[in-house]
Structure 1
Amino acid sequence: MNDYFYILVDGLKLTNANAISGPQSYGFPALNGFISAAHALERRLKKLADFPDISFDGVLISCRDFKIKMDDSGYFATFNQKRAPILKDGKTAPIIEEGYVDLTVSLVIKATGDQLRLFNLDKNKKTFEEKFRNLCLMQRFAGGSVEYIRAVEFFTAEDTDTLKRRLLPGFVLIDAYEDAANIYHEMVEGYRTEIEEKIDPETGEITRYICPVGHNPETDMLDVLISTAAIYQIPPKAEQSEWTRYSFKRDRGWLVPIPVGYQAITQKYDADQVANIRNPNYASQFVEVIYGLGKWVFPHRLKGDINQYFWRYDNSVENLYLITQHQPSNTNL
């Protein structure tokens, strides 16, 4: 038996989760909202006699249902806001703009612990699953309140095929670094490098998938992220009469920009050095959000080992606080 197992939190229905994932993005909650919730859950479990040695190593996220609370009846869409209670002096309290989303997700947490005790008897397994479910019901995920959990189940490392089927119907969020690299090369070279070139055996002529937008050798990764949110209008040529549209996401799947961590913009300050922070007992540092490219895929399209699709913290590089699917040296959440 492997030294790890999986905890499936199936059909986790959240209400009023945070829909503003970063300063330039909204929609699905930030990854940090789910990983930090798993970290808080791990700390609570370790205080119980039933889970003294449990440890988490990443979270896989599958989304089944999603509805942003917004008004899109006009030209611009706006978030639905909450009216704060009247102040003591009778004046109207200011409205702080917030974005909310109701969603249903399934989370798979990779964990290590005493499997002999968890899986030895079916009665033990059911008891632990029920206790774990009750703990999930008592805390927030991504700022949202838990309305309902369909089931909590423990799976052994050998039962990944059954685990994938339990994630259906839904989309799993994965790191799209390969697609980002391919888009970058397409923007620089002017053709799709991941599509196999066709060579005429008689003439030796090479046929490539040419990018109608052209190419720019000075392209950077910021251009790649912007390109995934843009639709390019191609003007007609002499023999054409209509404009054509092009998207760099074409034939690449459901690509989305996502926050993948933070980068420090100041030095690290010791405890009690910065005023008015949330917890003055810990060191603090000013940071800015780092964006990457994510991709929503069906669970049955996950290639290779399922362990490569778990999101986890990685602070192995100084002044970088990343959320990655790569395996860092220190994997505890």
Structure 2
Amino acid sequence: MNTPMIADKPEHWAVLVLPRLRVQNANAISSPMTWGFPAMTAFLGLMTSLERRLGADAGIAFKAVGVVCHDFEAQVTTEGFTRAFHLTRNPVGADGSTAGIVEEGRVHLELTLVFSVRLSTALLGDAERQALADRVAHEVSGMRLAGGSVMPALSGHRKRRPKPFLALEAEGQEEQRLQMRKLARMCLPGFALVSRDDLLASRLSQMRTTAPEANALDAWLDLSRWNHRAVQSDDGEVTWQTDPRQGWTVPIPVGYTALSELYAPGTVNGARDTKTPFRFVETIWSMGQWISPHRLKRLDDLLWYARTEGEKQATYRCCNDYTPGTPADTATA
């Protein structure tokens, strides 16, 4: 389903790493049906905004982004199996009056962002690359990430935040493997989010052997929950068993699909941007997996990129080219 975007790489491809970013109050409601980690569209949006901020004169073009999560602290109240978001009432009028509460989910995060970038010839030197990496980190520190604020390093903290770096991509296969291993070690402990579209397709095929009317939504819901089944043994004893899962899999939004034609700028009332064409869309859902970076064999396994298709039935999709390897890579949870 995914088409590799980062193929036949030019000689000036590089890896930009922004390690251990602390993000406060990021958006935890990733779609109308999921909550938890921010949607991958937020990180691709950050990448696009960052490239625009730097400008063409910076000599860098962003192509894909990978995300490794080191810490996740959802702002929720837990009572047994029930969770509720911490909500606030904020003044909305000039007189200080408030409106009804609109549910806003928030989460504190610690992240490492890994970008695949293309550099100009002027940035091939070590000093030039480090200066650009420092500039990018400075720009990100003043931006919103998934609606949250990037926080400075804690003063007096016993461990200093690692410095950002920009390294040219290794050329040979063995050199690329060693570079990926070094990057993976730097990202530990943590978990990287990768795409598992294959799980959705295989579960749908499996369900249709007994329920021909099953659709993709049925398969998605089945993969999104823990399924417990009553099993009766030969002696009549009934026990409950939980279906195994292929690793730490989660339902995720991966983009949008068109619901309407593309309207000319300014023709739709209430649109925030009156200079850009407008289209009504709905969310595309799929499955993802949290996996330890040391299990990733290639840099492309970590990276997400944007892909658009079609005109009338357009899709705007976040794609990742991870492919399951050995059984250890998809260990049963």
Tell me, yes or no, if the aligned pair for 2:19 and 2:111 is still in contact at 8 Å. yes
* Counterpart residue type for residue 13 of structure 1: R
Is contact 2:28-2:74 (8 Å) kept?
A: yes
Aligned length, in residue pairs: 294
Matched, 1:281 2:286: no
Percent of matched pairs sharing the same residue:
30
TM-score using structure 2 length: 0.82
In the TM superposition, residue 300 of structure 1 has moved relative to its aligned partner by: 1.3
How big is each residue's C-alpha offset from its partner over 1:266-311, in whole Å with a ceiling of 9 and x where there is no partner? 11100111011110111100000010011111111113x3224311
Q: Secondary structure at the match of 1:161?
A: helix
Contact 1:233–1:243 (8 Å) recurs in 2: no
* Superposition map of 1:53-92 within 5 A: 53-73=59-79, 76-85=82-91, 87-89=93-95, 91-92=97-98
Q: Which residue identity lines up with residue 37 of structure 1 in the other structure? A: L
TM-score, normalised by the number of residues in structure 1:
0.82
Q: How much is the aligned-residue C-alpha RMSD, in angstroms?
A: 2.1
AA in 2 matched with 1:156? L
Q: Is the 8 A contact 1:62 1:107 kept in 2?
A: yes
Match of 1:199 in 2: none
The alpha-carbon deviation at position 90 of structure 1 amounts to 5.7
**Structure 1 pair 176–168 and aligned structure 2 pair: CA distance change class (3 A):** same
Q: Secondary structure at the match of 1:77?
A: strand
Q: Aligned pair 1:118/2:138, yes or no?
A: no
Q: Who wins on radius of gyration, i.e. which is larger?
A: 1
- Tell me, which stretches of 5 or more residues in structure 2 are unaligned? 1-9, 154-160, 171-178, 323-333
Cα distance change of structure 1 residues 271 and 83 upon mapping to structure 2, 3 Å threshold: same
Return the offset for 1:61: 1.0
| Partner residue in 1 for 2:164 | 152
State the Cα distance separating 1:22 from its structure 2 match: 0.2
Deviation at 1:251, TM superposition (A): 4.5
d(CA) in 1 for partners of 2:46, 2:117: 14
Structure 1 pair 239/25, CA: closer, same or farther in 2 (3 Å)? same
Q: Distance in 2 between matches of 1:123 and 1:139?
A: 25
- Which residue pairs with 2:223 in the alignment? 228
Partner of 1:24: 33
Q: Match for residue 300 of structure 2? A: 307
Q: Structure 2: which amino acid aligns with 1:243? A: T
**Map 1:46-57 → 2, pairs under 5 A:** 46=55, 49=57, 51=58, 53-57=59-63
| Kept after mapping to 2: 8 A contact 1:155/1:163 | no
Counterpart CA distance in 1 for 2:273 and 2:82 is: 38
Indicate conservation of the 8 Å contact 2:194/2:301, yes or no: no
Partners of 2:96 and 2:37 lie apart in 1 by 37
| C-alpha contact 1:31 1:323 (8 A) present in aligned 2 | yes
Q: Determine helix, strand or coil for the equivalent of 1:315.
A: strand
Q: Contact 1:62–1:173 (CA<8 Å) still a contact in 2? A: yes
